[in-house]
Structure 1
């Protein structure tokens, strides 16, 4: 895949896919949550599996993060499930998201580079 196959603002290099089980989901708040998350700049895809109550999100981790998505979920009366596996994944996702964001702005260096001020 290349960047042309993704939404505007999504780079394949920084693309991550997340799966979170949600609690307190109704038909009314599910549609609001999906619509609001889908409108975030950097989101590539969002869907919800009714059978397992899992929110599936693909996004550019250098442009948006899981904390903002979880805030939207909570604003509409739902919440991320409170089981140990979901919390474990959530912590891991946050760690990886921060790494992606840090690496996106990191300036690479080389020991073969001429020092500043020398020509």
Structure 2
């Protein structure tokens, strides 16, 4: 279970993304991580060895695609390859799933689900 570091983020909607980013210098990494940690939807961001970026964010307000756009706006790019494409596809699917489930009203298991008219 991921624990929220910022009080505004809800732990049940937090997602952790691990991406390999290429094309950043050390000063760009520092600026980028600082920008991410000050973003209202990002819970925590950190750089790991081998250019690994680990970001935990609130999936109801932000997405993996928005993270990729931010990486590209700083001049970086994601590492290519089959495995990275598979991870991105799975990340995008779970982003959409959480966003859709966040808008659903829960109902009791012993009742009939609400019908659309």
Q: Same fold (TM over 0.5)?
A: yes
Is it true that 1:79 corresponds to 2:77 in the alignment?
A: yes
Task: Determine if contact 1:36/1:72 at 8 Å carries over to the other structure.
Answer: no
Instruction: Give 2:57's aligned residue.
Output: 59
Instruction: Give 1:68's aligned residue.
Output: 66
Instruction: Give 2:12's aligned residue.
Output: 13
State TM-score, norm by structure 2.
0.83
Instruction: Give 1:47's aligned residue.
Output: 46
Gaps of 5+ in 2: none
Aligned-residue CA RMSD in angstroms?
2.2
Q: Which has the larger radius of gyration?
A: 1
For 2:106, what is the secondary structure of its paired residue?
Answer: coil
For 1:72, what is the secondary structure of its paired residue?
Answer: helix
Segments of 4+ moved more than 2 angstroms:
107-110
Q: Distance in 2 between matches of 1:90 and 1:33?
A: 20
Q: Distance in 2 between matches of 1:6 and 1:33?
A: 19
Gaps of 5+ in 1: none
State TM-score, norm by structure 1.
0.82
